[in-house]
A and B are shown apart, each in its own frame.
Chain A
Amino acid sequence: RKEVEQDPGPFNVPEGATVAFNCTYSNSASQSFFWYRQDCRKEPKLLMSVYSSGNEDGRFTAQLNRASQYISLLIRDSKLSDSATYLCVVLGWSDKIIFGKGTRLHILP
């Protein structure tokens, strides 16, 4: 099992819809989780940290499921500007930070 796995997509979603994607991780001792977004030809930017209790920031909600070892990102009322690649990040073995390969999201007008 890969350390961090994401569905590469692309997810093609109409504007205004709700979309969710998951990221699975293999190290049950992982403590820190993050979602980043990366626009084409740009550097990754932190979207949100993922806390054990889950957290919400506007239209974005992140959840952690330790039992099944995955984190999720939910985007409500999607906008055209949400089109990007979403990277899952896990703090893994020996404090090693591991990036997923990303999930591509296309919001369709």
Chain B
Amino acid sequence: GAGVSQSPSNKVTEKGKDVELRCDPISGHTALYWYRQSLGQGLEFLIYFQGNSAPDKSGLPSDRFSAERTGGSVSTLTIQRTQQEDSAVYLCASSFFQHEQFFGPGTRLTVL
């Protein structure tokens, strides 16, 4: 079956613009996670969904970041008024409840 997919694979934007990143989890997976990773760094947890609700938003760096999940499936991560420090790879993962996570290929965001 299909794995986790993310789009776009690469996004270059200008400082101050809004961007929207999409994640399609594995069908039937209840949990969905967003992380970001800067070059050479570890994973930084952003937000976690169980179904459509987000029990843990503790990792969102600022109020410019928001995420939603609809229909227990697709999720979008929105970054408003992007800054250069937002440049990173944004990774999405899904799992069946709290079991093993499967990652998508990521979206590489570059803010000029």
A binding-site residues for B, Cβ under 8 Å:
32, 34, 42-46, 49, 87, 89, 91, 94-102
State whether B100 touches A44 (Cβ < 8 A).
no
Q: Given that A44-B43, A45-B103, A97-B33 are known contacts, is A91 also in contact with B91, CB under 8 Å in the complex?
A: no
Report if B104 contacts A (CB, 8 A).
yes
Report if B106 contacts A (CB, 8 A).
yes
State whether B91 touches A43 (Cβ < 8 A).
yes
Report if B1 contacts A (CB, 8 A).
no
Chain B: interface size category: 10 to 19
Going nearest first, the 9 A-B pairs with the smallest beta carbon separation are: A101-B42, A43-B103, A99-B43, A46-B100, A95-B98, A44-B103, A43-B106, A43-B105, A91-B98
Chain B, Cβ-Cβ closest to A45: B103
Bound form: Cα–Cα A97–B94 in Å: 12
State whether B101 touches A97 (Cβ < 8 A).
yes
State whether A102 touches B104 (Cβ < 8 A).
no
* 25 chain-A/chain-B pairs, Cβ below 8 angstroms: A32-B98, A34-B100, A42-B105, A43-B91, A43-B103, A43-B105, A44-B43, A44-B91, A45-B103, A46-B100, A46-B101, A46-B102, A49-B100, A87-B42, A87-B43, A89-B101, A94-B56, A95-B98, A96-B48, A97-B45, A97-B48, A97-B101, A99-B45, A101-B41, A101-B42
- Most chain-B Cβ atoms within 10 A of its Cβ — which of A43, A87, A101, A102? A43
Q: Chain B 93-111 against A: per-residue CB contact (8 Å), 1 yes, 0 no?
A: 0000011111111100000
Bound form: Cα–Cα A91–B47 in Å: 15
- Most chain-A Cβ atoms within 10 A of its Cβ — which of B35, B42, B56, B103? B42
